[in-house]
Amino acid sequence: MRRWDPGLPLRAATELPAALRAVLEGTRLLPADGDADAIVVLGAMVLPNGEPSGSLRARTLAAVGLFHAGRAPVVVTTGAAHRHPPGEAVVARALLRENGVPEAAILIEEKSSNTHGNLLFARGLLPTAVRILVVTEPFHMARALVLARAVGFPEPLPWPVLSPAWGRAWDRWRLLARDTGSMALVRAGG
């Protein structure tokens, strides 16, 4: 566990304008062209009944389409169990299988509790992967790509998906604000 850095809040506050610009630029990224070594579905909430949230469903179904289009031979689902079991990766795997992705093409990472962990542990499952398609919503894309590069994926490709939350103005602004704060922390070294 890292020790608390008392200078982090001030550094993060000074990074807020640049973080906001980066997050907003990330919302304008288009789905990438070209094939990849793997598709990485970033984790999202599981509902109390064990069903995927709208975000997890949208991300996973986008991965189904990418897989069936032949964009990558492997799909990695990510995320541990948080408030409601089973884990995010397990729920996403079930949805992939229901939609025709063979078990042999699915890897699950179920240790992580955040985006950095999603990508770090996925990296451990994909030691030879250079290009990954990162599947997440637009508000989350800029930070996800920065973190993918930081853990050793030199060529992460964006695959933004529109979830129900992205379609609701209040949720969209809330999520943009949350990711701006998170990006400021990343940029500040936190």
Does residue 7 form part of some domain? no
Does residue 3 form part of some domain? no
**Per-residue pLDDT tens over the stretch 58-111:** 999 999 999 999 999 999 999 998 887 899 999 999 999 999 999 999 999 999
User: Which residues 6+ apart lie within 8 Å of 39 measured at CB?
Assistant: 63, 66, 67, 71, 72, 74, 75, 76, 132, 133, 135, 159
Query: Domain range for residue 181?
Result: 15-187
**Is 161:51 a contact under the CB 8 Å cutoff?**
no
Does residue 96 form part of some domain? yes
Task: Enter the pTM of the model.
Answer: 0.94
Per the structure, the count of domains in the chain is 1
Does residue 4 form part of some domain? no
- Domain holding 100: CATH number? 3.40.50.620
- Distance (Å, whole) CA 9 – CA 76: 33
**Per-residue pLDDT tens over the stretch 150-174:** 999 999 999 999 999 888 999 999 9
